[in-house]
Amino acid sequence: MNNGVGAQYGTFKIGEVDEELQLPPGNVSLRQLKPKPAVTLNAAGKVTKGSDGDPFLGGLENTQGNQATVQIMGVVWMKCSPPLPKIESKVVVDGQGGVRQAKDGENGRGCVLHTCEYNQTCEILMPA
């Protein structure tokens, strides 16, 4: 697993305060063992889970109050909606906290490096 290689982060305001975007404080290593929730930016520039097909901003790393730290570059480990994306494809958010392969005409991002059918996860390289 290459999770975190070349990681760079950005801090954004949280657009919708829901339990899935409020990560528990504390054991960071426990969070690193799970795929990060996929997020996008809404029209106001705030982090949300978005709707199916919205552009993929990155993986939610941490939250504190109304602030979110998001991994926006490097290799990130994400949950994927079936069917799993093809290697080297771009992804969009699925609106459920994961990603799916971008269809023609969608604003996909990243490059899928690896998929795991058993866990329904993928590793994505997110360039600048």
- Contact, 39 vs 60, CB < 8 A? yes
In contact, 72 and 9? CB cutoff 8 Å: yes
- DSSP 8-state secondary structure symbol assigned to residue 21: G
Task: Write b or e for each residue in 96-106: b if 16 or more Cβ atoms lie within 10 A of its Cβ, otherwise e.
Answer: bbbbbbbeeeb
Gap between the Cα atoms of 110 and 5, Å rounded: 14
The rounded distance, in Å, linking the Cα atoms of 17 and 73 is 24
**pLDDT at 27 exceeding the cut of 60:** no
Residue 116 near residue 66, CB atoms below 8 Å = no
Beta-bridge partners for 38: 59
Angstrom CA distances, 76 to 4, 104, 113, stand at 6, 23, 10
pLDDT at 79 over 80: yes
Radius of gyration of the chain (CA): 13
Fold of 8-126: Virus Head Decoration Protein; Chain: A, (2.40.300)
Instruction: Indicate the pLDDT class of residue 17, thresholds 50, 70 and 90.
Output: very low
pLDDT band at 8 (very low <50, low <70, confident <90, very high): confident
pLDDT at 29 over 70: no
Q: Where are the domains of the chain?
A: 8-126
